[in-house]
Structure formats: C-alpha cells, structure tokens
Amino acid sequence: MGKTILTIIGVVLAIWVAMSVVGAIISMLKLFFFIGFVAVLVVLAVTLISKSKSRL
C-alpha cells in the first residue's frame, strides 16, 4: 500500500516538475522574443535617423 502511494506521489511530482519546466522555457522564449523585438526597433530607429542626418 505504501509503495503504491509513493508511486502515485512520484508520478504527480514528476508531472508537476515537467509542467514547471515547460512553463519556464515558454516564459524565457517570450522574454527573448520581446528583447529581440526591441532590438529590431532600435536598429530601425538608428538607421532612419542616420539616413535623415546624412541627407542634410
């Protein structure tokens, strides 16, 4: 009986840890996407400003 309960608890714990890891990876990817998006906006802004300054 005790072995069955410990097995069930182990399976539940393994599923919980797996879901936590998946959530952390998704969160990290969203953060990297946001940082990349901001970097693209900065590059575009700097490019537009430098092109407008060179024409003057």
- Place 55 in a pLDDT band, splitting at 50, 70 and 90: low
Instruction: Say what the pLDDT of residue 35 is.
Output: 98
Dihedral of CA atoms 23, 27, 29, 35 in degrees, nearest 10, equals: 180
Computed over every residue of the chain, the mean pLDDT equals: 94
- For the chain, give the percent of residues with pLDDT over 90: 84
Residue 18 banded pLDDT, cuts 50, 70, 90 = very high
- Specify the long-range contacts of residues 18-23, CB closer than 8 Å, at least 24 apart: none
pTM for the model stands at: 0.66
Angle value at C-alpha 43, between 38 and 47, nearest 5 degrees: 150
Mean pLDDT of 5-9: 96
